[in-house]
């Protein structure tokens, strides 16, 4: 529809993002069926992990992109414009610990520092700083729920949509840090040089 190159997140936001793009008359048929290909030159789409979207958009190789607010919070130093809240992919960034008596609170009281496992080290560190508590942030790459069960950490900071995974692993939400949805982001230079194309797209999204 235009000469914009769009960074599309694979993973949880993938399906709804493709639905959104097809509503904008972008041909996503090949993207839907070919999950090995990454660059779809004709459609102007490039697919990647959600956490890589800000990287590609900031550098300008993609003009705009779609990613979760959780990713943007974690990479808050990226020089990208956050244009609109797309509303889908809604989930919560939470602090969770094992059910029953709050081990994290007890550890904080008696040892002064609590260990928190997370895939979002900067979000977690900021949350504890802002609430005046000391935390040792343990960065893990997957299955964060394992950390409190095994004793690696007293709590986790993670994203949850339905809370099912937390419950199944015997964890309960203690604090809500933020609500996250999918966001449309833009490269600042593209936002100026391709203003008409980006505005036309925004107009259709409203």
Partner 1 sequence: MVVDRIPSGTRDVLPDEMRELRAMTDRIRAVFDRAGYGEVYTPALEYERTFASDRAGRGWLATPPAYRVFDEQGNVLVLRSDMTIPIARLVANRYQHSELPLRFSYLAHAYRSVRPQRGQSREFLQAGVELIGSPSPEGTAEVLGVLCAALDSAGLQSYRVGLGDAALYPSLLEQLGIGEEIRERILRELVDGDFVGVEREVAALSLAGDDAELLLRVPQTRGGPEVLEGLAGPLHDAGSGMRTVHAMLAREVAARIIFDLGLVRSLGYYTGAVFQVYDPAHGLPIGSGGRYDELLGLFGRPLPAVGFALNVERLHIALTGEERGRPRAQT
Distances (CA, A) of 84 to 38, 42, 137: 25, 25, 31
Q: Does 39 bind partner 1 (CB under 8 A)?
A: no
Q: Does 161 bind partner 1 (CB under 8 A)?
A: no
* One residue of 42, 77, 101, 168 binding partner 1 per CB under 8 A: 77
Separation of alpha carbons 20 and 183, rounded Å: 12
Stretch that binds partner 1, among 17-25, 77-85, 112-120, 132-140 (CB under 8 A): 77-85
Q: Does 23 bind partner 1 (CB under 8 A)?
A: no
How does 80-107 read in b/e, with b if 16+ C-beta sit within 10 Å?
A: beebeebebbebbbbbbbbeeebbbeeb
Stretch that binds partner 1, among 19-27, 55-63, 135-143, 167-175 (CB under 8 A): 55-63
Q: How far is the CB of 132 from partner 1 (least distance, A)?
A: 22
Q: Does 176 bind partner 1 (CB under 8 A)?
A: no
Q: Does 111 bind partner 1 (CB under 8 A)?
A: no
Nearest to 143 by CA among 127, 128, 175, 165: 165
Q: Does 113 bind partner 1 (CB under 8 A)?
A: no
Stretch that binds partner 1, among 19-27, 78-86, 98-106, 123-131 (CB under 8 A): 78-86
Contact 118, 156 (CB under 8 A): yes
For residue 173, what are the β-bridge partners?
A: 96
Q: Does 90 bind partner 1 (CB under 8 A)?
A: no
Q: Which is nearer to partner 1, 69 or 98 (CB)?
A: 69
Nearest to 43 by CA among 65, 25, 55: 25
């Amino acid at each position: 529809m235009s000469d914009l190159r769009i960074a599309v997140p694979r993973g949880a936001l993938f399906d709804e993002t493709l639905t959104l793009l097809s509503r904008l008359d972008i041909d996503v048929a090949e993207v839907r069926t070919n999950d090995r290909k990454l660059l779809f030159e004709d459609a102007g789409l490039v697919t990647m992990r959600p956490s890589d979207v800000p990287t590609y958009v900031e550098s300008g190789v993609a003009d705009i992109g779609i990613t979760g607010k959780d990713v943007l919070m974690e990479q808050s130093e990226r020089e990208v414009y956050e244009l609109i809240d797309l509303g889908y992919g809604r989930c919560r960034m939470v602090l969770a610990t094992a059910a029953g008596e709050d081990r994290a609170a007890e550890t904080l009281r008696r040892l002064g520092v609590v260990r928190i496992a997370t895939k979002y080290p900067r979000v977690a560190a900021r949350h504890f700083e802002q609430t005046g508590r000391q935390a040792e942030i343990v960065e893990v790459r997957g299955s964060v729920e394992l950390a409190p069960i095994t004793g690696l950490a007293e709590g986790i900071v993670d994203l949850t949509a339905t809370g099912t995974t937390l419950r199944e692993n015997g964890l309960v939400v203690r604090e809500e840090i933020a609500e996250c949805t999918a966001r449309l982001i833009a490269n600042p230079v593209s936002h100026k040089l391709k203003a008409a194309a980006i505005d036309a797209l925004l107009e259709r999204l409203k």
